[in-house]
Amino acid sequence: MRYKTSSLATLTLVLLAGSTMLIAQRGGRGGSGGQQQGPPPTAGSGNAGGAGGGYGTMDQTRGRDRTRDQIQDRERLRTQATTQQREQLRTCDQTMSQTRKQVKDLRRSASSSNFDSSAVRRQHEQLQEQLRTLEQNREQLNAGLNEEQRNAIQERNQNMQLIHARIQNQLQEMDRELSDNAMHQADVEEQSRAMERDMKSYQKELREAGKSLDLL
């Protein structure tokens, strides 16, 4: 009887020890799981902000350099501008203003209920002469510029040449219309409107070129 009691006690101790170990193992796994953190940072992630800031600084530096270069270019062009160049540009601008007034008068004559074909033809001839004068003045201005000044307004000059060619084509169309015995008043009016728009664009290019060279 004493033997059975001893065996039962031993068995109870063994079971208690096993339960204690099992509980300890489970607790350890739960603790380690609670301590797990997010994935380790990828290589270079810690410097991402620094790299972005570096690029921003480089862009700002380049922007300041460009601004400084533009200011220096304008200052250099300003010192090269002469009184004669300013007078020539002013003459070109005044000639274009007069030409725009003439084409406006032509358009009004063409749209008038008292259409006078002879008066319109005279206005057309005066307009052609005015445009020839304008182009001569612009060529004289360009001839007086140095290479750096011409390069600075090269694109403006090309735009003016294209616009001038377009105006010349419109004048030729109008000339054919005026030479026709069956002249269409509406066509002359529409061609005049188109020339008004082109002359406005021409004068804008001329003035922008003058500002670039500090002539206005």
Residue by residue, what is the 3-state secondary structure of the chain? CHHHHHHHHHHHHHHHHHHHHHHHHHHHHHHHHHCCCCCCCCCCHHHHHHHHHHHHHHHHHHHHHHHHHHHHHHHHHHHHCCHHHHHHHHHHHHHHHHHHHHHHHHHHHHHCCCCCHHHHHHHHHHHHHHHHHHHHHHHHHHHCCCHHHHHHCHHHHHHHHHHHHHHHHHHHHHHHHHHCCCCCHHHHHHHHHHHHHHHHHHHHHHHHHHHHCCCC
pTM attached to this predicted model: 0.65
Q: What's residue 156's pLDDT?
A: 96
pLDDT class of 32 with cuts at 50, 70, 90: very low
Domain 79-212 has CATH 1.20.120: yes
Average pLDDT over the chain, rounded to an integer: 79
Amino acid at 129: E
Is pLDDT larger for residue 73 or for residue 14?
A: 73
> Is the predicted pLDDT of residue 187 greater than 90, yes or no?
no
Determine the average pLDDT of the residues in 25-54: 51
Distance of CA 181 to the CA centre of its chain: 48
> Is the predicted pLDDT of residue 207 greater than 80, yes or no?
yes
